[in-house]
Amino acid sequence: MPVPVPPALPAALQALDAALDAPRRPGVALGNWRWVVRQRMGAVRDALVGEAAGSDDGWLAARGGSAFRERNALLARLGAFGPAILETSDVEATRAELKRLLLDIQRHVQRLHDLAYDEVELELGGSE
């Protein structure tokens, strides 16, 4: 069975990216920005948690397990930013680190797509 990407994950990533790019002005506006980013991070977390475990098929099992471990590492990194985004004095540095995390999550999603493709190809016999 292919490793599906949670349907909510692409939309959650896009919403977080948009929130990170929103203007960050001092005062109440910055507090609002922090809160919106924190909420969007929660949506990404929920979508990642909804990801299925890896493949059980032969040579794909190792890649599926690797994707599962990678997902857990991404969740840990995302969780570490929860308090940081609300409390940091260096908003720009934290924002830049979150943007890097978004790229890592997007690469993870691509690996899931690749794994699902390879699994379907294996089931159908591929081109060999």
Tell me which residue has tokens 């909510």. 8
Specify the pLDDT at position 64: 61
Token code pair at residue 114 = 């690749």
Length of the chain measured in residues: 128
| Separation of alpha carbons 1 and 119, rounded Å | 7
Specify the pLDDT at position 1: 45
Token code pair at residue 106 = 């997007």
Specify the pLDDT at position 103: 96
> Residues 23-43: what's their mean pLDDT?
94
- State how far the alpha carbon of 82 is from the alpha carbons of 39, 51, 57, 79, 111, in Å: 9, 20, 36, 5, 25
> Residues 69-75: what's their mean pLDDT?
92
